[in-house]
């Protein structure tokens, strides 16, 4: 008769089975922990590499900015009193290969577009611009008779008149004279520091605070053209049509347009500046030499301009040299991409100062 296993042998066998299972669980747990540690280590290494690559792309973009300064310095060293589209800065987007990537950049003249901040209350009105054009300072004394002779339109900002005309000239669907005036009023209220509504289309804090997602008017200079999305009456379609013709100078209400750098393919802005027909504006731009005009007298003596009767404030809008430029730079290093926009000012000593730097594609 076979010997039956004792209770003690069965218990020992059961304990060996439990121990084996415990060891297997411990091995599995260690494997999971090791896999997680390896994954986290790999992620951390990849994150560090991405930060390093992005930082290198950033330095490449700053290199493009430094190179742009040298280009502008050379351009104004050769021609200190005039800015035109034949100078070395006025090229299309240029791309340079670098180690493990490339740098691209494009320089544009910010005085070939309408500065929206020129609607700020600190900007010169039409009568002040006219006095400036005729050689008088804006702070000169005026007789009571001359003040009384000024019409209400003389107190309007030139940029406001130009913007209203530009909006109409662009033939945007649903935008006429009334709508254009409403947008100008709303932008004026966004810029001024009071709570008084300008005209029928103006909008102040109460109008914006009553929205589903409330906010207040900036009551300050625009920081970007994209800020128009927050302002009453400015729809995405209107902003899209307006963007190629307008720009923003940071904390600056200057309204000076360089006739040498206006885009010949966008005559609508000159049409608004001159209050002329589109054909006349295009004809004037076509008559411009590639190197532009050495002085404003050459521009005013154009036969094509003789049919247009320009007021003094309209003449005061134009210059032949520029102080403000914008660099749109992008850099790629390995798989990292970096985009940056820099606004630069040429000071009186022809040195270049970066006054604004924006990170991102816009």
Give the pLDDT confidence of 167-208 residue by residue, as tens digits. Answer: 999 999 999 999 999 999 999 999 999 989 998 899 999 999
Note the helical H segments in 6-123.
7-78
Alpha carbon distance 211, 114 (integer Å) = 30
Q: What is the pLDDT of residue 167?
A: 97
Condensed to tens digits (0 to 9), the pLDDT of residues 225-261 reads 999 999 999 999 999 999 999 999 999 999 999 999 9
CB 317 within 8 A of CB 115: no
CB 253 within 8 A of CB 122: yes
Alpha carbon distance 27, 20 (integer Å) = 11
Q: What is the pLDDT of residue 138?
A: 40
CA 239 vs CA 39, 81, 110: distances in Å: 46, 34, 18
86: CB partners within 8 A, 6+ apart:
290, 291, 292
CB 262 within 8 A of CB 114: no
Alpha carbon distance 248, 253 (integer Å) = 9
Q: What is the pLDDT of residue 12?
A: 63
Q: What is the pLDDT of residue 147?
A: 44
CB 317 within 8 A of CB 160: no
Q: What is the pLDDT of residue 23?
A: 81
CA 80 vs CA 45, 145, 198, 303, 314: distances in Å: 51, 42, 41, 27, 25
Q: What is the pLDDT of residue 297?
A: 94
Looking at the DSSP bridge assignments, the partners of residue 217 are none
* Other Cβ atoms closer than 10 A to 119: 26
Long-range contacts of 62-65 (CB under 8 A, 24+ apart): 62/340, 63/103, 63/331, 64/103, 64/104, 64/105, 64/327, 64/329, 64/331, 65/327, 65/329, 65/340, 65/342, 65/354, 65/357
**Weakly modelled stretches of the chain, pLDDT under 70:** 1-16, 126, 133-155, 362
**What is the β-pairing status of strands 336-346 and 114-115?**
unpaired
Note the helical H segments in the chain.
7-78, 126-133, 144-149, 158-169, 177-191, 205-209, 236-242, 268-274, 278-286, 296-300, 312-315
Alpha carbon distance 319, 295 (integer Å) = 8
Q: What is the pLDDT of residue 285?
A: 95
First to last CA, the chain: 94
Buried b (16+ CB within 10 A) or exposed e, 78-106: eeeebbbbebebbeeeeeeeeeebebbbb
Handedness of CA 141, 146, 152, 156 (dihedral sign): negative
Looking at the DSSP bridge assignments, the partners of residue 342 are 327, 357
Alpha carbon distance 360, 362 (integer Å) = 5
Q: What share of the chain is helix, strand, coil (3-state, %, to 5)?
A: 45, 15, 40
């Amino acid at each position: 008769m076979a010997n039956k296993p004792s209770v003690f042998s069965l218990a020992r066998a059961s304990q060996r089975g439990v121990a084996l299972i415990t060891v297997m669980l411990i091995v599995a747990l260690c494997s999971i922990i090791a896999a997680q540690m390896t994954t986290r280590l790999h992620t951390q290494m990849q994150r560090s590499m991405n930060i390093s690559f992005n930082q290198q792309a950033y330095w490449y973009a700053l290199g493009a900015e430094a190179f742009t300064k040298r280009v502008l310095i050379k351009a104004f060293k050769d021609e200190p009193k005039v800015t035109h589209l034949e100078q070395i800065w006025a090229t299309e987007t240029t791309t340079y290969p670098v180690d493990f990537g490339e740098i691209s950049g494009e320089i544009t003249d910010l005085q070939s577009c309408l500065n929206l901040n020129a609607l700020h209350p600190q900007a010169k009105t039409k009568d002040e611009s006219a006095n400036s054009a005729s050689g008088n300072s804006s702070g000169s004394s005026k007789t009571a008779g001359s003040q009384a002779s000024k019409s209400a339109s003389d107190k309007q900002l030139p940029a406001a008149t130009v913007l209203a005309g530009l909006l109409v000239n662009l033939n945007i669907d649903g935008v006429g004279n009334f709508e254009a005036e409403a947008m100008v009023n709303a932008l004026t209220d966004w810029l001024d520091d009071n709570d008084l509504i300008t005209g029928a289309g103006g909008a102040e804090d109460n109008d914006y605070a009553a929205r589903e997602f409330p906010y207040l008017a900036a009551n300050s200079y625009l920081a970007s053209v994209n800020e128009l999305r927050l302002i009453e009456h400015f729809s995405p379609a209107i902003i899209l049509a307006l963007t190629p013709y307008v720009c923003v100078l940071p904390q600056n209400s200057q309204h000076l347009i360089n006739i040498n750098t206006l885009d010949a393919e966008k005559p609508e802005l000159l049409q608004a500046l001159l209050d002329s027909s589109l054909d006349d504006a295009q004809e004037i731009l076509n008559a411009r030499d590639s190197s532009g005009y050495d002085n404003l007298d050459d521009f005013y003596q154009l036969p094509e301009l003789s049919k247009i009767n320009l007021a003094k404030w309209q003449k005061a809008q134009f210059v032949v040299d520029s102080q403000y430029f914008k660099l749109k730079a992008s850099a790629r290093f390995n798989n990292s991409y970096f985009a940056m926009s820099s606004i630069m000012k040429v000071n009186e000593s022809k040195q270049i100062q970066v006054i604004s730097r924006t990170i991102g594609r816009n």
